[in-house]
Amino acid sequence: MAFRKPPDGGWGWVIVVVSFFTQFLCYGSPLAVGVLYLEWLDAFGEGKGKTAWVGSLANGIGLLASPVCSICVSSFGARPVAIFSGFMVAGGLMMSSFAPNIYFLYVSYGIVVGLGCGLLYTATVTITCQYFDKRRGLALGLISTGSSVGLFIYAALQRELIELYGLDGCLLIVGALSLNILACGSLMRPLESSSSPPPEKMFVDKVPDQYFVYHEKEKTVEENISILEKGYIDEKSVNNVPDCKQDSILNKNTLSSINVNEKDTYKKKVVEQTNFCKQLAKRKWQLYLTYWKETMVLFKNKVFSALFVAILLFDIGGFPPSLLMEDVARSANISEDDYYMPLISIIGIMTTVGKLILGILADFKWVNTLYLYVTTLLMTGVALFAIPFAKSYLTLAMLSGILGFLTGNWSIFPYVTTKTVGIEKLTHAYGILMFFAGLGNSLGPPIVGWFYDWTQEYNTAFYFSGFCVLLGGFLLLLAALPCWNACTNQSSKLPPNTYSYKVASNT
């Protein structure tokens, strides 16, 4: 499909609005799942680690399946995928209201809703990139805030719905709200070329002659024989030459010649198709080998290897607070009367602020985005170590705001990836990193929950989380030091890891 030049406006702003609301509607409940987590603990009586799998799967499965999501959007387009995924998210939420046990929620909420969110994220990003070029960074920044605003609003909304209609009624209403994704998806008009593609007849002359044999040979041998016999009989009746002996000889010769031609044509067809399959398999194998070679080259870059470890450890340790902070407050015996705002809502609104401020800082030429990202990791680790010492709503609210702001470093992660591997390898490297980010999202909350089940308190769990994030930050800092990069550039012939911030921001 041929696309026009991105208009950087016009209908593109409609795409930005509907993509914002799409991420708002699909990610609102999964990101604010901490409110539902408390209800599921009381409803099913399972351990915290086992129950935490529901929310971790919903947030991690979309990143783990990002290659599949990209293939679906590339094959079918953003609009069909968005509409189909809207049914998945709404259906998964409504099915979860009838869950008889925690294992049913693993499928309905964790896998179905999580995969639908992953498909919708890929669809919104893809269609936005098609409509914007010079303003692509601004457009992607605007739509990415939809999930954070959804976290802020859905945390309070789900709590109110649970008080009014119970857990089942809350999930049914939230699922019904998610059906608005269908309306948003229907407005994702693809940016196709204004001129229609030339008809097939214009390309007839360019098709090799050998392919016409198979298109012309649609009839069976018996049908061809009958046609030839009919033609010969008609010709004989016109010429009035009755010669039965000649008829039998000609029919016999015609049949034998047709059988020989048919066998030759069939043999040619088999040989052609066999060779085509061999060439296709060889080409696919070469593509797989090239992919793995490029992956190995990426991991030879020490900064990229440290970045992959850092993002994995950051999501293992940094994601659980957004899911478990409400239960931390309840474990600290903080009364609900002291709540001025849900802690998850504070995390959501500060994540939006963090994305915007950190994204603006990354555009300044004097700011090294890699060091800025490392700083956010180290500060996150320190904040996680401080959670066990918070015994009041005010201190937990302050820590929630700090963690939410630092979680906004997702907005500068593409900048960091571009600076590390270059613009040419960004897509390949970003897909690998997102896979490990999804793995960390899936493992983090259950690990913290298992620590609680083992020790009956959250102190050890958050010490572990803080250690993971600090370890990842220090490894990335050591790999990013100038002296280390100088040694790396001398020992290998990889492209230099210095790229202008303007290029990174446009990416």
Let me know: does 377 contact 310? Beta carbons within 8 Å. Answer: yes
Per-residue pLDDT of the chain (507 residues; tens, 9 = 90+): 445 666 777 888 899 899 999 999 999 889 888 889 889 988 888 888 888 889 888 888 888 887 778 778 878 888 999 999 999 999 999 999 999 999 999 999 999 999 999 889 888 888 887 787 777 667 777 887 888 888 889 988 998 999 999 999 999 999 999 999 999 999 988 876 544 444 444 444 444 444 444 444 444 444 444 544 454 444 444 444 445 445 555 555 555 555 556 666 766 666 667 777 767 676 766 666 776 677 777 778 888 888 888 988 998 988 888 778 888 888 877 776 667 777 888 888 888 888 888 877 877 778 888 888 999 999 999 999 999 888 888 899 899 999 989 988 887 777 787 777 776 676 667 777 878 888 888 888 888 888 888 888 888 889 999 999 999 999 988 888 775 555 444 444 444 443 333 333 333
Let me know: does 476 contact 374? Beta carbons within 8 Å. Answer: yes
| DSSP H helix total and E strand total for the chain | 22, 0
Classified by CATH at the fold level, domain 1-192 comes out as Growth Hormone; Chain: A; (1.20.1250)
| Of 437, 461, 154, nearest in space to 320 by CA | 461
Classified by CATH at the fold level, domain 276-484 comes out as Growth Hormone; Chain: A; (1.20.1250)
Residue 105, both tokens: 């929620």
Four-residue CA torsion sign, 365, 366, 367, 370: positive
Which one-letter amino acid corresponds to residue 169? G
Instruction: Determine the length of the chain.
Output: 507
Four-residue CA torsion sign, 376, 382, 438, 106: negative
| Of 107, 91, 98, 113, nearest in space to 43 by CA | 98
DSSP state of 3: -
Pinpoint the alpha helices (H) of 387-481. Answer: 393-407, 413-421, 426-455, 459-480
| Of 348, 342, 314, nearest in space to 328 by CA | 342
H-run or E-run covering 353: helix 343-362
Q: Which residues of 218-253 are buried (b: 16+ CB within 10 A; e: fewer)?
A: eeeeeebbeebeeeeeeeeeeeeeeeeeeeeeeeee
- How far apart are alpha carbons 168 and 94 in whole angstroms? 8
| Of 317, 315, 320, nearest in space to 466 by CA | 317
- CATH 1.20.1250.20 range(s) for the chain read 1-192, 276-484
Residue 180 is predicted with a pLDDT of 94
Pinpoint the alpha helices (H) of 132-192. Answer: 136-178, 180-186
pTM: 0.66
| Of 308, 307, 306, 319, nearest in space to 447 by CA | 319
Residue 37 is predicted with a pLDDT of 87
Residue 161, both tokens: 């719905």
Residue 212 is predicted with a pLDDT of 40
Residue 221 is predicted with a pLDDT of 44
Cα→Cα distances 415→64, 236, 238, 481, Å: 21, 82, 83, 18
